[in-house]
Amino acid sequence: MEIEFWWLLALPLFFALGWLAARIDIKQVVKESRALPRSYFAGLNFLLNEQQDKAIDAFIEAVRIDPQTIELHFALGSLFRRRGETDRAIRMHQILVDREDLNEDQRLQALAELGQDFLKAGLLDRAEAVFLKLRDTREKDMALRYLLEIYQQEKDWAKAIEVAGALPDHEGLMWRREVANFHCELAASALADSRYDEVRRQVEEAFSINRRCVRASLLLGDVLAAEGRDEEALETWKRIESQDPVYLALAAERIMDAYGRLGRVEQGHQLLKAWLERHASLDLLDELFHWELEKQGPKAAYDLVREELKRNPTLLGLDKLLEAALLAAPAEQRSDIELVKQLIHGHTRKVARYRCDACGFKARQFHWRCPACGGWETYPPRRTEEFDLTP
């Protein structure tokens, strides 16, 4: 390949221009670095050496020396909040909010950070006031999400419904579940006060948002049963099988009580057994087990659990089987069965908890809303062992 003569003349020029640009950049970096307080670099050094407490002290000193380090204010405030030092985070972000030299974007960011500080500190009224100010700004979406969390913590379901309707991604699956449950919370409160018309109104709202809302079916059946309309209540609860059969166990006791009031206990018993055959459930088995034990005796309860164990072998089922066997066994055999039952029971305590589908949080009690992550209907009435057995 031949080299053009003019290339030889151009190469020194390119080198000269590159050298000049590098010199300019270096001078700018040196100038900016000299303008920063030495404590800023000390803070960076502490961070690199994983000495966070000393780094924070150094950065605070840098902020004191040079109040213009706005981004450092934001970084420190967020760091304090993550560490749980909400008082220091609030002071840091309040200083920014009160400054007059901030532009509009920086002021909104400072307010948003301050609202999160108040929320983390549990000062819900002050957090609400901040996010309400941000609701008509470019930070609207973020403010609405935090307001929704605040109203759920305060159990102000009417405000939660209003805010949820203003979210940009409303009407998605998770949104429908959440808002339907907000209406169910209002319905449950009205039911406790025997305000049956209000219960119906809230249940209808829940169904209009989510036709598969099991909780609304349970509440509607409760209203009908309270009014003495057991046949209609039963039909309402039976619909749960088509909505989500995982929740059938929640209706089991209600159904047996209603059939008992109608004088058709055996019909209710057969219905629950049919459900158990179609939809394996440890809670449903538990309900049937106790009914058999009380009404038919240990032998009937033993036979019930034995048949279910053949279909769905579980430690919790085995524990029930041993309980029935212990009651039916001769006196001389009970000590041996009791010993085995105690060994099994020690293991069943670990697998008898409910578990959230979203975050994995476990608890012994069923919740419509997960206590850990706050998800609605992410905490089905299925024991941990049932999750482990699911393919």
- The DSSP call for residue 361 is -
Measured between alpha carbons, how far is residue 295 from residues 287, 290, 329 in Å? 12, 8, 18
Element (H, E) at 196: helix 196-209
137 CB-near residues (< 8 Å, 6+ apart): 108, 143
Q: Where does 121-172 have alpha helices with state H? A: 124-134, 140-153, 157-166
DSSP assignment string, 248-317: HHHHHHHHHHHHHHTT-HHHHHHHHHHHHHHS--HHHHHHHHHHHHHHT-HHHHHHHHHHHHHHS--HHH
Q: Please, which residues bridge with residue 379 across strands?
A: none
CA nearest neighbour of 200 among 221, 228, 172: 221
Q: Rounded to an integer, what distance in angstroms lies between the CA atom of residue 32 and that of residue 198?
A: 66
Could you list the residues known to form a binding site, using ranges: 356, 359, 370, 373
Could you list the residues known to form a binding site for Fe cation, using ranges: 356, 359, 370, 373
